[in-house]
Structure formats: structure tokens, C-alpha cells
Chains A and B, each alone.
Chain A
Amino acid sequence: MATIARRTRLVAGIALAATATLVLTSCAADTASGDGAGGGSESGADAATATSIEDFGSFEDLEAAAKAEGQLNVIALPRDWANYGEILDLFAEQYPEITINEQSPDISSAEEITAAETNEGLDTAPDVFDLGLAVALSSTDQFAPYQVQTWDEIPDALKEPSGLFVGDYGGYMSIGYDSSKFDEPGSLDDLLGADYKGAVAINGDPTQAGAAFAAVGLAAVQSDGTLDDFQPGIDFFGELQKAGNFLKVDVTPATITSGETPVVFDWDYLNAAAGADNPDWKVAVLDGTGYAGYYNQAINKDAPNPAAARLWQEFLYSDDVQNLWLKGGARPARMEAMTEAGTIDADLAAALPEVPEETVVPTEEQSTKAGTLLGEKWAASVQ
């Protein structure tokens, strides 16, 4: 019956975490007494506390330890997100001995941490995370510190000093638009015009998704506000709603391809990827103050495959993979150093939208404050 199906789905949603705890803790006892959370028996204990390549000896030793584990659990890596598909395939090609388990590709950052907590001690727990900044900052007790070989080339602003989490790739909040219907928007006010009736969407709800949150942040700083106060940003979307221009549908590559969402606020790399099937799709970063955001890598402190987790980090910060992120339209963490060294793929770098004059990134305090404000005001202001 429909009721049962639908209700089960809902309850499953509510209680997924709870069920997982219940069912899995009963198995956890077995696994824990079996081979424990350490994975590889000889190097396992060392790998779990290794903070750099020196703790393994050499890179070859790390590779050997990771191959001995034979598994790598990654979580929340959609294949069409920042070119992760190609990155995962390259890892699989380089290390055929290691099986990659791609878990729940479409969940949120917050759910990654929940998954680690509920699966603690199991070999299904995620080894590595890819997290938005707010979640990374509030979950540091879940991470094991590790510094990759190319650590020094990562800008200080992007890394937690001990290596608990490290920025991996990022981009600017941008406006994707269908160039067959619209000219390039030069400012936010353009979007309030009658041409854009029922045309402007955000990727997600800002009280939930990091990208949508950043869209409101961008609107705030573009409306002469600061990151201390997101209210001007909320007001902008309120006006957009009053003008009848705001679209509330959930944005997917399908809605972009079909033309249902002809103007979308999203990270520049996601906008580029989402519009891949629409030849008229262009991505614009507004002049003036830009809003940037980086995602962060972290290793689960209870990683069932601690060596493979660390090998994955070394792999991600290698020149090849940094260029693969760039190919996905994202700006990799080592971009500056690689540009100086000449190892960056210059064609890809040139294809990125131009960097605005000024760039802002919210602090943890600003994020929290903005989150509270959005929780109170957002739903009412866009009705």
C-alpha cells in the first residue's frame, strides 16, 4: 500500500541513524573482537596514529601498508561533483589492490559525521571525509591529524595547523545562466528585473546546504553588507520572491538541462558541471566582493583502513589529482604553488571564471550567527 511505503520511507528517514546503531552495534561486538578497528595487523596500530609519511618510513611503505589493508571507504563523493568520478577511477587504476567502497554519495557533510559515529568500530565506517567548513570546525574530535608531503604548499588559511582537516578544493559563489535566454548578469539588481520572472533558483535551502548558505552570503556582501550580518542577503531574496523571480524547485542537472532553472546560484565548479549537457550554460562570478568557500579533507580517527586513508590524502594532494579537480572547474588547494612551479594545467586554469577584486570567507563565529539568523528569518522571508 502507498501509505505503508510512504510512511516507511519517512520513518526510515527519521530513524535511519537509530536503526543503524541498533543493527550494527550488535555486529560491532563481533568485528571488534575479531580484528578490531586497526585493520592491518602489523602496521595497523602505527598507521592509525601516523601524522606524516615519516611515521611509515617511506612513501613505498605507506603504499604497502595500504595495499595490505586492501580497502578504502569513501563517503559523500558524488561522481559529478568537482570531477570526483575521474579522481576515484584514477586511484582505482593506480592501486588495483585496493577496493574503493563509495558510500552514500549524495549525503550532506553533517551526515558524514553521523555515519562515522554510528558505524564506529565497524569495517564499514568511512575512512576519509570531505566536509564543508562549518561541519569540519565543529567535528574536530572525530579527526586524526595528518600532514601530506606537499603540506607546505597549502596556504595557511586553508589548513588547521596540526592537520586535523585541510582545505582541498573550492571556488567562488557564482551565477550560472542560460546564455540563449539571458545576457550575463552584471549585478544582483539585474536579477530583480522583469526579464528574470520565475527564473532564479538557489541550489538548496540555505538553512541546510552549504552552497545555498553561500548564495545568501554573497547577496549580503554584494548588497554592501558584511559577513557579520546576512540580513541584506535575506532581504535580497525576499525582494526576488516579491518580484516573482525566485524559483523554489530543487535544482538538479536535469532541471538545468531542461531549462526549468535558467539562472542558478551555486559554486562555480558545480554550476560548470551541472550545465555540461546544456551548451548555452555559462557561469558568471560577479565583480566586486566575491564569496569563496573551500571543502576540507579529514581522516576519521576510527578509520578501519588507516593506511589507505592516509594514502588517499597523499594521492589527493599530488599534482595529478590537483589538476583533476581543476578539470572539474574547482580551484585546488595547491593552485598557487603549482602555478609558480609551472605544474598547473595552464589551459584549465585560464578557463576558470575571473577572480573578483576582493574575496571573503566567513569565520566560524560568522557562520554560526548567520545560521541562527537564517533559521529564524529565511522561511518567512521567501513566502
Chain B
Amino acid sequence: MTSDTLRADATASAPAIAGPSRTVRRSGVSVAWLGLVPFAAYVLMFLAVPTILAVGSGFFTDDGTFTWTNLTALADPVVLNTFANSAGLSLLTAVVGAVAGALVCYALLGMNPQGTVRSSVDAAAGVLAQFGGVMLAFAFIATVGAQGVMTLFLQDAFGLNIYENGMWLYEVPGLIMPYVYFQVPLMVITFMPALAALKPQWTEANLTLGGTRASFWLRIGLPVLAPSFLASLLLLFANAFSSYATAAALASQGSQIVPLQIRAALTSETVLGRENLAGALALGMIVVVGIVMALYSLVQRRAARWQS
């Protein structure tokens, strides 16, 4: 509303002071550009340069001579297996998180936007999407670990032993539950705006033209939301793919996912001299995340069409 008024004012007064106003605007642009400098410098120093150095280290030996050895190590069956584990785990938790999160969003849509339920779910999602790492791992150990509250309750009340066939919580499949725990709230945060942007006029138009509730979702709702949903799904994938601390605390044996392999290569005190392999592994991760992010921006651009 306000911005519309301003724009209208600017257009209205433009002819009268066309000359000066253009000069003012040009200098304004250059100052605005300067405003980006601190952030750009920060990103350059603490994200871009370290990333380049880390990845670059993958191309050199300890003595600093150029080598392809670290990169060829990416084809090692053990490493390939960890990439497959990482990708599989990320994809599965992204899909589960996206579907569950979208359903939560749909349910919230029917609530009063200013109501208690919706704002508390919003707030909770904001907090829980950040709740990862060692805290989350220990929360799961305390709840569903071998001595966890839920485990003991199920055993005492129903005689049900969820670990009849071994402690799966501390294996790769055991990571699914904790990951979904932060994926769902992240989906709620990212997908809710798209869902809320469905215009009531579209529903009205659909009804006016004799459509049904089903035809609204089939012909309008789903096609409009699909790009946003896909974009959120990709974001969730990248989120799980790069997650490290939760897995480090839960599945500490065998470095089954890529971030744990990187840790092993960097910090091992028993298998020495593999620091540069970490660079190659990081490159592998960056390639995967790069592809995902490229897809994300492609899909996001499509999604933006409907959000103006």
C-alpha cells in the first residue's frame, strides 16, 4: 500500500523535475552498492576463500606438489558408498519432511493467521528447524535410546522391545528420525509463505466457472505450488546432506556419511597424512550441493512467477 502510493507520487512528480531526479537516483545507486561491501567482504573472507582453499587442498600432496590422487580416491568403493549413504539419507528425509511439512502447512491454512495455534506452530517451527547437532542427538538418546524414556515405557507397558533386532538408532537408518525432526519444521517455514500466497480470487474464479474443490487443487493449486514445493524439497535435501554434528554423536563408527569421512580425514590420530583427501571429499560435496542449488534457483524462478 505504502510503496504503491510512493511509486504513484514519484511518477506523478517525475515530469516536473525529470533532470535533477535522475542524477539523484544515479548517485543513490552507487551508494547502495557500497552498502553491500561489508557483507560481500565477510562472505568472501569466511565462505568463499576458505572454500577455495579447502577444495584446492584436494589437488595437492602434503608437500605441495600437484596431484590427481585425492580426486581419484573419490572413486574408491568406500567413498562412493558414503556418498550413496549421504544422498539416500538426504533424499529420504527431504521427501518425508517435505510431504509431512506440506500437510502441516495445509492444516495451518485453515487457521486464523493471527490465532494462537498458528502463531505458536510458526514460532515452534522456527526454533525446531534450528534444533540440530549434539543437543538433538542427546535428546533422541534420552527419549528412544536403549535406556530412553519411551523405550522403557513401551517395554513396561506393552512388552514391546523396539531394539529386538539390534540398536538401529546408532546406525545410518537411525539418523532418519532425528533428521526428519528438523526437516519438517524447516519445510513449514519455507513452504508456508507459498501456500499462504494462494489468492482467494482464484478459488472464487474456479467456483464461478463451475469448478469443484477437487478441480481447484488439481488444475490451479497443485500446478501453482509445485515449483515452490520442489524448491523447498531441494533446500531440505541440501540441509540434510550438509548436516554433520547429529550424525557424529549418534553413528560414531565407520564414518558412514560424507561429512564424517571428511572429519576422519582431517582429524584422525591413527591414520595419518590424509588431510588433503578431505579437500577432494569437500569438492565432491560442493558439486552435489551445487547441482541442487542450481536446480533450486531454476525452480524458484518459475515459482516466483505466481508470487508477484
Q: A residues within 8 Å of B by Cβ?
A: 1-3, 5-15, 17-19, 21-23, 107-111, 114, 132, 134-135, 138, 197-199, 202, 204-210, 212-213, 244, 246-251, 254-255, 258-260, 367-368, 370-372, 374-376, 378-380, 382-383
A206 engages B270 (CB within 8 Å): yes
Q: How far is the CA of A114 from the CA of B262 in the complex (A)?
A: 16
Min distance, Cβ A277 to any Cβ of chain B, angstroms: 15
Chain B contacts with A in 229-263, Cβ cutoff 8 A: 235, 238-239, 242-245, 248-256, 259, 262-263
B256 to chain A, nearest CB (A): 7
Report the contact-size class of chain B (Cβ under 8 Å from the partner): 35 or more
Question: Do B252 and A207 touch (CB < 8 A)?
Answer: no
The answer to whether the Cβ of B150 comes within 8 Å of any Cβ in the partner chain is no
Q: A6-B243, A22-B50 are in contact. Are A255 and B141 (CB under 8 A)?
A: yes
A250 touching B250 by the CB < 8 A rule? yes
Q: For the complex, give the distance between the alpha carbons of A198 and B132 in Å.
A: 25
Name B's A-contacting residues (CB within 8 A).
Answer: 45-47, 49-51, 53-54, 57, 78, 81, 129-130, 132-133, 138, 141-142, 145-147, 163, 165-167, 169-171, 182, 186, 189, 235, 238-239, 242-245, 248-256, 259, 262-264, 266-273, 275, 278-279, 282, 289
Bound CA–CA A247/B141 (angstroms)? 12
Q: Report the Cα distance A2→B239, complex, angstroms.
A: 7
The answer, among A13, A17, A21, A208, for a CB contact under 8 Å with B269, is: A208
CB of B182 within 8 A of CB of A2, answer yes
Q: Which of A10, A13, A114, A379 contacts B254 (CB 8 A)?
A: A379
With A208-B267, A213-B270, A382-B253 known as contacts, the answer to whether A13 contacts B147 (CB < 8 A) is: no
Could you tell me if B129 and A22 are in contact, using CB atoms closer than 8 angstroms?
Answer: no
Tell whether A378 pairs with B186 under 8 Å between CB atoms, given A3-B239, A6-B239, A213-B270: no
Q: How many A-B residue contacts, CB cutoff 8 Å?
A: 191
Q: Is the CB of B262 within 8 A of A14?
A: yes
The answer, among B47, B235, B259, for a CB contact under 8 Å with A3, is: B235
With a cutoff of 8 Å between Cβ atoms, the chain A residues found around residue B50 in the complex are: 11-12, 14-15, 18-19, 22
Chief secondary structure at chain A's binding surface: helix
A43 to chain B, nearest CB (A): 34
**Bound form: Cα–Cα A362–B269 in Å:** 14
| Given contact pairs A10-B244, A138-B273, A205-B255, a sample of 10 additional A-B residue pairs in the complex whose CB atoms are under 8 Å apart | A7-B289, A9-B133, A15-B53, A18-B54, A22-B53, A107-B267, A135-B272, A205-B252, A259-B147, A379-B78
CB distance from B52 to the nearest CB of A (A): 9
Q: How far, in whole Å, are A224 and B268 apart by their CA atoms in the complex?
A: 27
Q: Distance in Å from the Cβ of A46 to the closest Cβ of chain B?
A: 33
Q: State the CA gap A107–B269 with chains docked (Å).
A: 10
- Asked if A9 contacts B245 (CB within 8 A), the reply is yes
> In the docked arrangement, what's the CA distance between A18 and B145, Å?
37
Do A205 and B243 contact each other (CB < 8 Å), given the known contacts A249-B250, A255-B141, A259-B147?
A: no
Contact of A244 with B166 in the complex, beta carbons under 8 Å: yes
What are 30 A-B pairs with beta-carbon distances under 8 A? A1-B189, A3-B239, A5-B130, A6-B242, A7-B289, A10-B243, A12-B50, A21-B53, A108-B269, A132-B269, A202-B253, A205-B253, A207-B270, A208-B267, A208-B268, A210-B270, A213-B270, A246-B253, A247-B170, A248-B254, A249-B169, A251-B252, A258-B141, A259-B147, A260-B145, A371-B272, A374-B270, A375-B271, A378-B253, A379-B78
CB pair B129–A110 under 8 Å, yes or no, is no
Chain B residues whose C-beta falls within 8 Å of the C-beta of A1 in the assembled complex = 129, 186, 189
A246–B146 alpha-carbon span in the complex (Å) = 12
The smallest C-beta distance from A169 to any residue of chain B, in angstroms, reads 17
Interchain CA distance A285-B152 in the complex, whole Å: 31
Q: Which residues of A contact B238 (CB under 8 A)?
A: 3, 7
